[in-house]
């Protein structure tokens, strides 16, 4: 588009009916609300001025409730502070909708708020997603979200504190020289309480994520309040594991700044490490005759030279103990006397690499790679679901069908990523199966019956030669056993050809339970079953995204993580899991065994 003539096109139209006036008002909101629409020359300046006049004229024809409803719609972008300033002069409900709908930057808010009418500033205190700097500005201007309670709500609920809601406020707080007034009206019998950080959050109105708004509010809360230790324990924590209240002793410190006096004793350090390093000496006390094995740091200290990449061994708390590299410069007083050193401690690169085992580092690399792959797939899935569910407006049925197929494919890809992540953790030892108890016999027969309902149409399936005498309890979590048996039996059953029945047996040994099942002909023909890329014969049963070999390899890793194993011979596969001993059994099973013996 070389010339943006949308505004001129809209202004040429005549709004002769109520529907036309609503349409034109909505079009002006859409064009003027776009931040990219700016004054370019005298002609565009006159068009924008005409647009403001046309909007005021349409405002006289349209009821305030209709204009407020159009402002609250989520199908347009509100990024223009000039539009927010213009609508703030309209009726209270229109001004409230505009100031709650606007999505501006912190710089735009800072320039806009002083220009707003005093009665309109109070609406901003009802928002919980403003930048921290904007909230500080409102606080400095004395704008508070206080108002008189609804009379009906006070009588029915006995409310003793003022309540202010977007619907209940007609005139927000207006600061006067010596006192402040707030005029409210009660259109509803029982107005809703004011929103809190943990309550509803309209992402469409704010344009930001709930997490970012919550993080900013917690940061502002802790800046404006001096917390005691007891208050810090009860204060809200950051989401997604960002626990900033954790003790420095529990974290691995990679670097910190320091200063040392003329005797080589650390007298200042960064706040995080101050309590652990202040008082520590960089050099050993001087003795008669000196030290035979003087280190490079001590030599530089005695000669008042810069300390560059000097190794140092620190002792103390676990967070600061170990090998360090010291870089520091000598400092002198105005009289030229030596005053000590100012510098920085940092961990050597080799120490940072050796903090994790090779298996853990390999698992971390794989998880980072999967995270980078998972992020765009998740975004594609989200946009496809938006189109399929018509969240931003109607879409043709053909597009919705394509979007549904894309969302389903993205879900299968994410499922495959989860399997890759799980296999990497299990094979590198970064993850183990949870201990518990499960009836292997019951789970195996339930899985076989579930597969039989699908495979019976092809006269195939998995059949157990004989029923066990009783339950076979294994020392593995029940959900993990179900997932493991489904992965194994679904892989074998899905590879069965028409008319192929597989025989399986369940046996118990001294310390383990064994499930043995025949291999289907398709897998018996593979040279290495764990590297087979064979796909299931039918589409109804699919144990994984990457074929039978990967599924069996993951099942083997899960069995090994549970303390058992999975072995493949020429014509059969055997799964072993540890039996549940009397010491591992839950009290419920011990009580049932006692009752059986008493009977």
Last residue within a domain, chosen from 205, 222, 257 = 205
Please tell me whether residues 371 and 458 are part of one structural domain. Answer: no
Please tell me whether residues 349 and 366 are part of one structural domain. Answer: no
Angstrom CA distances, 373 to 379, 402, 410, 421, stand at 11, 22, 11, 12
Please tell me whether residues 147 and 194 are part of one structural domain. Answer: yes
Instruction: Give residue-wise pLDDT tens across range 480-505.
Output: 899 999 888 988 888 888 888 889 99
Please tell me whether residues 194 and 170 are part of one structural domain. Answer: yes
Burial of 261 (0-12, 13-18, 19+ CB in 10 A): middle
What DSSP assignment string belongs to 222-246?
HHSS---HHHHHHSPPPSTT--TTS
What DSSP assignment string belongs to 97-114?
HHHHH----HHHHHHHGG
Strands 322-332 and 307-314: antiparallel
Q: Is 579 helix (H, G, I), strand (E, B) or coil?
A: strand
When mean pLDDT is compared across 141-145, 241-245, 513-517, the lowest value belongs to 241-245
Residue 133 has pLDDT above 60, yes or no: yes
Cα separation of 44 and 176, whole Å? 40
Q: What is the CA radius of gyration of the chain?
A: 35
Instruction: Give residue-wise pLDDT tens across range 448-460.
Output: 888 888 888 888 8
Instruction: Give residue-wise pLDDT tens across range 207-216.
Output: 455 556 666 6
Residue 230 has pLDDT above 60, yes or no: no
Burial of 316 (0-12, 13-18, 19+ CB in 10 A): middle
Q: Has residue 474 been placed in a domain?
A: yes
Please tell me whether residues 482 and 551 are part of one structural domain. Answer: yes
Cα separation of 193 and 449, whole Å? 53
Instruction: Give residue-wise pLDDT tens across range 532-552.
Output: 777 676 666 766 778 888 888
> What pLDDT is recorded for position 108?
87
Angstrom CA distances, 264 to 89, 208, 308, 347, 523, stand at 67, 51, 16, 20, 71
> What pLDDT is recorded for position 138?
81
Q: Has residue 502 been placed in a domain?
A: yes
Last residue within a domain, chosen from 427, 446, 472 = 427
Last residue within a domain, chosen from 314, 334, 353 = 353
Number of domains in the chain: 4
> What pLDDT is recorded for position 217?
67
Strands 461-464 and 322-332: unpaired
> What pLDDT is recorded for position 147?
47
> What pLDDT is recorded for position 244?
46
Q: Is 146 helix (H, G, I), strand (E, B) or coil?
A: coil
> What pLDDT is recorded for position 419?
85
Contact between 82 and 52 (Cβ < 8 Å): no
Cα separation of 129 and 214, whole Å? 8
Q: Which domain holds residue 110?
A: 63-205
Instruction: Give residue-wise pLDDT tens across range 326-342.
Output: 999 999 998 889 999 99
Residue 588 has pLDDT above 60, yes or no: no
CATH number at residue 564: 3.30.565.10
Instruction: Give residue-wise pLDDT tens across range 179-190.
Output: 333 333 434 444
Please tell me whether residues 348 and 364 are part of one structural domain. Answer: no
Contact between 293 and 327 (Cβ < 8 Å): no
Residue 360 has pLDDT above 80, yes or no: no
- b/e per residue, 411-443, with b = 16+ CB within 10 A? eebbebbebbbbbbbbbbebbebeebbbbbbeb
Q: Nearest CA to 441 among 422, 408, 423, 468? A: 468
Please tell me whether residues 154 and 170 are part of one structural domain. Answer: yes
- State which of 35-44, 475-484, 534-543 shows the largest mean pLDDT: 475-484
Please tell me whether residues 303 and 332 are part of one structural domain. Answer: yes
Please tell me whether residues 174 and 298 are part of one structural domain. Answer: no
Cα separation of 341 and 349, whole Å? 24
Instruction: Give residue-wise pLDDT tens across range 60-84.
Output: 889 999 999 999 887 788 888 888 8
CATH number at residue 307: 3.30.450
Q: Has residue 253 been placed in a domain?
A: yes
Please tell me whether residues 515 and 493 are part of one structural domain. Answer: yes
Please tell me whether residues 451 and 567 are part of one structural domain. Answer: yes
Paired tokens of 412 = 């299968």
Please tell me whether residues 312 and 382 are part of one structural domain. Answer: no
Q: Nearest CA to 415 among 255, 212, 551, 581? A: 551
Q: Has residue 242 been placed in a domain?
A: no
Q: Has residue 563 been placed in a domain?
A: yes
Q: Has residue 264 been placed in a domain?
A: yes
Residue 470 DSSP class = S
> What pLDDT is recorded for position 199?
40
Q: Has residue 21 been placed in a domain?
A: no
Angstrom CA distances, 37 to 32, 34, 44, stand at 7, 6, 10
Q: Has residue 176 been placed in a domain?
A: yes
Residues facing residue 326 across a β-bridge: 310, 345
């Amino acid at each position: 588009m070389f010339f943006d003539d949308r505004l001129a096109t809209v202004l040429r139209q005549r709004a002769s009916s109520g529907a036309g006036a609503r349409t034109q008002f909505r079009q002006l909101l859409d064009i003027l609300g776009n931040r990219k629409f700016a004054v370019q020359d005298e002609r565009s300046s006159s068009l924008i001025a005409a647009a403001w006049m046309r909007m005021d004229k349409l405002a006289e024809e349209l009821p305030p409730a209709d204009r407020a409803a159009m402002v609250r719609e989520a199908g347009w972008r509100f990024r223009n502070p000039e539009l927010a300033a213009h609508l703030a002069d309209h009726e209270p409900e229109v001004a409230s909708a505009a100031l709650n709908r606007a999505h501006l930057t912190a710089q735009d808010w800072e320039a806009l708020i002083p220009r707003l009418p005093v009665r309109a500033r109070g609406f901003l205190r009802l928002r919980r997603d403003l930048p921290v700097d904007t909230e500080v500005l409102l606080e400095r201007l004395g704008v508070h979200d206080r108002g008189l309670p609804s009379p009906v709500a006070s009588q029915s609920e006995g409310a003793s504190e003022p309540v202010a809601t977007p619907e209940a406020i007609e005139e927000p707080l207006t600061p006067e020289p010596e006192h402040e007034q707030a005029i409210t009206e009660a259109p509803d019998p029982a107005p809703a309480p004011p929103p809190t950080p943990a309550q509803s959050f309209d992402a469409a109105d704010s344009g930001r994520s709930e997490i970012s708004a919550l993080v900013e509010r917690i940061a502002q809360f802790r800046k404006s309040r001096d917390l005691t230790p007891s208050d810090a324990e009860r204060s809200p924590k950051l989401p997604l594991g960002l626990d900033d209240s954790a003790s420095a002793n529990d974290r691995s410190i990679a670097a910190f700044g320091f200063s040392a006096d003329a005797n080589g004793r650390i007298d200042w350090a960064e706040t995080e490490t101050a309590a652990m390093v202040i008082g520590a000496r960089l050099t050993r006390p001087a003795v008669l005759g000196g030290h035979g094995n003087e280190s490079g740091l001590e030599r530089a200290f005695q000669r008042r030279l810069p300390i560059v990449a000097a190794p140092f061994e620190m002792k103390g708390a676990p967070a600061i103990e170990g090998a360090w590299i010291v870089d520091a410069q000598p400092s002198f007083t105005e009289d030229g006397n030596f005053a000590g050193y100012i510098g920085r401690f940092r961990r050597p690169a080799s120490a940072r690499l050796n903090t994790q085992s090779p298996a853990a580092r390999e698992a971390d690399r794989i998880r980072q790679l999967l995270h980078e792959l998972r992020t765009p797939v998740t975004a594609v899935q989200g946009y496809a679901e938006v189109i399929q569910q018509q969240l931003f407006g109607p879409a043709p049925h053909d597009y919705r069908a394509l979007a549904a197929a894309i969302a389903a494919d993205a879900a299968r890809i994410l499922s495959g990523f989860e399997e890759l992540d799980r296999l990497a953790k299990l094979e590198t030892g970064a993850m183990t199966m949870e201990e518990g108890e499960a009836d292997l016999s019951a789970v195996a027969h339930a899985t076989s019956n579930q597969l039989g309902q699908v495979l019976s149409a092809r006269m195939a399936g998995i059949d157990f030669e004989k029923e066990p005498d009783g339950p076979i309890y294994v020392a593995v979590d029940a959900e993990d056993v179900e997932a493991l048996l489904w992965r194994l039996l679904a892989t074998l059953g899905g590879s069965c050809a028409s008319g192929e029945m597989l025989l399986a047996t369940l046996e118990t040994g001294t310390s383990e339970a064994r499930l043995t099942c025949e291999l289907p002909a398709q897998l018996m023909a593979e040279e290495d079953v764990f590297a087979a890329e064979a796909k299931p014969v039918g589409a109804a049963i699919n144990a994984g995204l990457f074929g039978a070999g990967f599924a069996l390899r993951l099942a083997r890793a899960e069995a090994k993580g549970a303390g058992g194993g999975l072995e493949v011979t020429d014509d059969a596969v055997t799964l072993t899991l540890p039996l549940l001993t009397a010491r591992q059994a839950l009290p419920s099973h011990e009580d049932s065994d006692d009752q059986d013996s008493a009977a």
